[in-house]
Amino acid sequence: MTKPFRQPAIYAGIGVIVLVAPWVAPSIVTQMAFLWLMVVFALTWDIMGGQMGYNSFGNILFFGVGAYVCAVVQRDSGLRYSSALALGAALAATAATVVAAILGPAVLALRGHYFAIATLGLGIAAADIAAGWHYIGAASGIVTPLFPGAIGDRGRFFYYLLFLVAAFAFSTLRWLYRTRFGLAINAIRDDEEKAEAMGIHTTRYKTAAWCISALFLGLAGAVAGNLAGFIDPHEFAFAGSSYGVWMILMAILGGRGTLWGPVIGAMVFHVTQELFWTYLLGWQRVAMGLFILLVVVFFPTGIVGWFQQSWSRRLGCAAGGLTPDVPSGQTGD
């Protein structure tokens, strides 16, 4: 098969699997829905961490903002379930994007260590503020409205909804990374001074990238908050030490700075995490800490990165079809 035919075939295959999955395995539909959330996490983190070289520890902020905005809209708007959810999700995405646009110019002027720690602080500060703010339920969190349909439908509904968010994020990024925008943020990653000297308005590009990241995270937060049914400030919305770290880990595990890396990383990670939860109950969080450490220390290139390094040379071609965005910074220059 020649290349132009192969890609649509792959995407169609994936699409069929995704569509039938909840009917084949209805007992794990919630876990599969969370899988799509993980994919969104990894993809949106990689815009910043992988493609632009800005390693954020606080992207969870936008997820939490989205979850809370949507839940508050659903609580106070008095609309029917579906319209309240739609309005809530739209406002959630907007709010998250606005927060990113406001914080962006100042926070993204920081670099390296400083950016990482500042964003870490942002995420935790947001959690503590949410836990003290009574309008949004303070430390006891906020409960999202009940899904009106049957119980079996609920899981499938959110599964498809989160898949839509993930697919929307993936296709947007796939397109963006091929445009001037992708080139610009890669240039910022490789050498910000030179990028600026070449006439790239770095602050604008950096803020735009963060806004895109925030947009999808806000959307995902709105939907995932409803899937979880209960939004806790520390454990769900601004869960810096679980979701917040996982998104980084998934992107690294899959391969930073590649399009498919975060997707693959999210899948491998999510399965691993479910296995930990099943077989190491009680110790699963300890195992997770160890897993993070091992991946970062021993496997920083990630699955796709490793595949590109060792196999594409041997096969001569194959890996290129799936991962068109080989970043120069990752493969060594």
Q: Which residues bind another protein (CB under 8 A)?
A: 55, 57, 106-107, 109-114, 116-118, 120-122, 124-125, 128-129, 131-132, 139, 241, 245, 248, 252, 282-283, 285-286, 288-290, 292-293, 296-298, 300
How far apart CA 256 and CA 139 sit, in angstroms, is: 35
Minimum gap (Å) between residue 296 Cβ and another protein: 5
The pair of structure tokens assigned to 105 is 């110019």
Tally of CB atoms within 10 A around 234: 18
Minimum gap (Å) between residue 192 Cβ and another protein: 9
Give 16 or 293: the residue with its C-beta nearer to another protein: 293
Give 30 or 309: the residue with its C-beta nearer to another protein: 309
Give 215 or 252: the residue with its C-beta nearer to another protein: 252
Minimum gap (Å) between residue 289 Cβ and another protein: 3
Determine contact, residues 63/126, Cβ cutoff 8 Å. no
How far apart CA 330 and CA 252 sit, in angstroms, is: 11
The pair of structure tokens assigned to 282 is 């009680």
Give 76 or 128: the residue with its C-beta nearer to another protein: 128
Minimum gap (Å) between residue 151 Cβ and another protein: 33
The pair of structure tokens assigned to 122 is 């942002």
Residues ≥6 apart with Cβ < 8 Å to 159: 21, 22, 29, 30, 32, 33, 36
Minimum gap (Å) between residue 218 Cβ and another protein: 20
Give 297 or 317: the residue with its C-beta nearer to another protein: 297
The pair of structure tokens assigned to 124 is 């935790």
Minimum gap (Å) between residue 92 Cβ and another protein: 22
Give 14 or 109: the residue with its C-beta nearer to another protein: 109
Determine contact, residues 202/69, Cβ cutoff 8 Å. no
Tell me the CA distances in angstroms from 179 to 24, 172, 186, one per residue in order.
Answer: 38, 11, 11
Determine contact, residues 105/190, Cβ cutoff 8 Å. no
Q: Is 102 helix (H, G, I), strand (E, B) or coil?
A: helix
Give 72 or 131: the residue with its C-beta nearer to another protein: 131
Minimum gap (Å) between residue 298 Cβ and another protein: 8
Minimum gap (Å) between residue 191 Cβ and another protein: 14
Determine contact, residues 227/43, Cβ cutoff 8 Å. no
Give 234 or 270: the residue with its C-beta nearer to another protein: 234
Tell me the CA distances in angstroms from 212 to 40, 42, 50, 178, 276, one per residue in order.
Answer: 12, 13, 14, 15, 32
Backbone angles phi, psi at 57, to 5 degrees: -100, 0
